[in-house]
Amino acid sequence: MKRPVRVVYFDHVASLSGAEISLLRLLDALGDRVDATVLLGEDGPLVEALSLVGATVAVVPIPQRTRELRRDVAGARPGWRAVTDTARYTAAVASHLRVLRPDLVHTNSLKAAVYGLAAGRLTRTPVVWHVRDRIAEDYLPAPAVRAVRASARVGPSAVITNSRATLATLPGARRARVVPNAVPSPAELASPPDGPVRSVGVIGRLAPWKGQHVFLRAFARAFPEPSSTRAALIGGALFGEDDYERELQHLASSLGIEHRTDFLGHLDDPSQARARLDVVVHCSTIPEPFGQVVVEAMATGVPVVAAAAGGPAEVITDGRDGLLAPPGDPAALAACLVRLADDLPLRQRLVTAGQRRALDFAPERAAAGVLACYDEVLRR
């Protein structure tokens, strides 16, 4: 019998964001097949959550100015302080690896990939990159795109991506494979809807590229006064994007829907709020790497309208298990919402087929894909 693979998982944040939630689900599914230690660049809610799934957790604080570096300035020429911070932090991570002596390192974010690869080189430890972001110029600055793509070809021992859309942005990546994010399967199938569309919502942090402004314009067009249908925005403004939240509130007022729009803020567990929605909308204006909220809504039994690009376009077959609309097009999105509101049998079919489709993303499948990657790297 093979012993468990000793893996150090590395992430630069400790918030319960999409990538971190996916890591939690993956570790829970891997169970005793891995001996997992998680290194985090900060303390936060993820620490306790990881402990609950049996992982050992160590916090190696990352310099604040590095942790808060926005992706829109990534790839710029670093100053001497940034170089010094990087060297010191890499040395700290390498020190932990020398003590832990893992079989491999599994990085869970782009920043972690940079530090993890350097620390792996120092300790001669194989490194697996788990890339959950599209490495493209509509998401990252051109210098960062070139640097990450070049590193992916020769640096890590293997690269895992969360979708074919993400993989396509890493041409020539070493030992690359697609392992979609893990989404728990429903305990039982939801009952098909039997009433009108009363609530339509978007789930995700408030950010311009997430397209909540597109949603509000589409909602106002699809459900004009005197409709009683409500709009819900589930998610808070992170990373200094409070101005965008204020813009959205002003937009709702200018559209005359402020009294029917609920800004629910960040919810650690949005499952109850999601279950109360009659339709979930995904409306990112640039291609989403995977679209975890799309699969989660499908698994819950809520019909989905998603942007026809990136990961969601791989998840949804238009008209079968969800609807797709061109990104950034309020009129097209509104047409989909009207179609769902007017066609109860269609919503019922989408719920049934959507839950079946969500089974393809069960955590056990993600665990199998990751273990296959480990075996290939370690030749076990």
Instruction: Round to whole Å and give the CA distance between 200 and 227.
Output: 12
* Residue appearing with tokens 């991506």: 161
Q: Is the pLDDT of residue 364 over 70?
A: yes
Predicted local distance difference test score (pLDDT) of residue 77: 56
**Cis peptide bond N-terminal to 226, omega within 30:** yes
Task: Please choose, from the candidates 109, 179, 105, the residue with its C-alpha nearest in 3D space to the C-alpha of residue 148.
Answer: 109
Q: Return the half-sphere exposure (C-beta side, CA atoms, 13 A cut-off) of residue 229.
A: 25
Q: What is the mean pLDDT of residues 66-90?
A: 65
Encode pLDDT of 301-359 as tens digits.
999 999 999 999 999 999 999 999 999 999 999 999 999 999 999 999 999 999 999 99
Tell me the fold of 199-360. Rossmann fold (3.40.50)
287, 169 in Cβ contact below 8 A? no
314, 165 in Cβ contact below 8 A? yes
Which H or E run contains 160? strand 158-161
Q: What is the dihedral of CA 179, 184, 185, 189, to 10 degrees?
A: -140
Task: Please choose, from the candidates 276, 266, 268, 272, the residue with its C-alpha nearest in 3D space to the C-alpha of residue 233.
Answer: 266
Q: What is the mean pLDDT of residues 141-169?
A: 96
Task: Please choose, from the candidates 226, 277, 219, the residue with its C-alpha nearest in 3D space to the C-alpha of residue 252.
Answer: 219
pLDDT-derived band at 217, boundaries 50, 70, 90: very high
**So what CATH class is 5-182+362-378?**
alpha beta
Domain residue ranges in the chain? 5-182+362-378, 199-360
- Note whether 5-182+362-378 and 199-360 share their fold: yes
Q: What does the DSSP assignment read for 77-126?
A: PP-HHHHHHHHHHHHHHHHHHHHH--SEEEE-SHHHHHHHHHHHHHHT--
The number of beta carbons lying within 10 Å of the beta carbon of residue 269 is 8
Encode pLDDT of 7-43 as tens digits.
999 999 998 888 999 999 999 999 999 999 999 999 9
Q: Which long-range contacts (CB under 8 A, 24 or more apart) does 47-54 make?
A: 47/14, 49/16, 49/24, 50/24, 53/24, 53/27, 53/28, 54/27, 54/28
Encode pLDDT of 235-280 as tens digits.
998 766 889 999 999 999 999 999 999 999 988 889 999 999 999 9
Locate 273 and state its tokens: 């709020």
Instruction: Round to whole Å and give the CA distance between 32 and 53.
Output: 10
